[in-house]
Amino acid sequence: IEIKHLLPQLAVVFLAINMSIFGIDAIISLSNAMIHALYAAFPSTTVWGVLGSITSQSASLGLVALFILIVFIILAVILLVYYVMRLVILYLGAILAPLVILLWLLPSFKDFVTAAAKTYLTTIFVLFVHVVILLLAASIFAGMLNGGPVTGLNPLMGAIVGIATLITLLKTQRMMMELSYVSVGPKALRKLGSQFVTGVSYISTKSKALKAASAEGAAK
C-alpha cells in the first residue's frame, strides 16, 4: 500500500474511531425515534394483552389448547432470550467498533468489516421491523376479538396466529441479513469485471509501448 493512499485512509479511520460511539448512539436513537413515531401513528392495544385475552378463552379446547399454550410459552421464552442477546450484541459492538474500524485498513479484512457493519445495523433496526409485525398481529387479534356474535372468537386459530407471529419475529433478522447480502454477488462480479478490464487495458497499453519502442529502435 503506497503511503499517499494510506494517509487519507488513516485520517478517516482516526476520525471514525473517535466518533464511533456517537455514531452508534445516533443510529440507535434513530431506530427508537422510528418506533415511537410508529406507535404514535397507530395507537392500539398491545399484542400481548390481546394474546392474553385469547388464551384465557381457550379452556374449552382441552388438551389441544394446553399443547398450543405450551408451544406458545416456549417460543415466548426463546424470544425473550433473543432480545437479551440483542442487547449484549449492541454493547459488544459498541465496545469493539474502534478495533473493527482499525481492521478496515488491512485489505484482507475489508470484507469482514463490511459484513460486521451490516450485521450490527441489522441488529439495531430489526426491532423496528418487530414492532411493525406486532402491530399487524395486534390488528389481526383485535379483529378476532371483535368478530361479532356470528363468527365469534376461535381460540385455537388465535393461538396458532400467535405462534406464527413469534416464529416470524425469530426469523426476521435472518431474513434481513439474507436481503442485505443479495447485492454481494453482483457487486463482486462488477469488481472482478472492472479489474479484468483494467488489466487488459494495462497489457494493451504496455504492448503498444513496446511495439513503438521496437519500431523506433529498428528505424535507428
Distance of alpha carbon 126 from its chain centroid, rounded?
6
Give the H or E element holding residue 213.
helix 184-219
Q: Are 61 and 155 in contact (CB under 8 A)?
A: yes
Q: What's the confidence (pLDDT) of residue 11?
A: 83
Q: What's the confidence (pLDDT) of residue 90?
A: 92
Reduced to 3 states (helix: H, G, I; strand: E, B; else coil), residue 145 is helix
What torsion do the CA atoms of 173, 174, 180, 181 make, to the nearest 10 degrees?
160
Q: What's the confidence (pLDDT) of residue 84?
A: 92
Map grid coordinates 356470528 to a residue: 150
Map grid coordinates 449492541 to a residue: 90
Q: Are 52 and 153 in contact (CB under 8 A)?
A: no
Tens place of pLDDT for every residue, the chain, 220 residues?
566 667 777 888 888 888 888 989 999 999 999 888 888 877 665 666 666 666 666 556 566 666 767 777 787 788 888 889 999 999 999 999 899 888 888 878 888 888 888 889 889 999 888 888 888 877 777 776 665 444 555 666 767 777 788 888 888 888 887 777 766 656 656 666 666 666 666 676 766 666 666 666 655 5
Q: What's the confidence (pLDDT) of residue 29?
A: 92
Q: What's the confidence (pLDDT) of residue 189?
A: 61
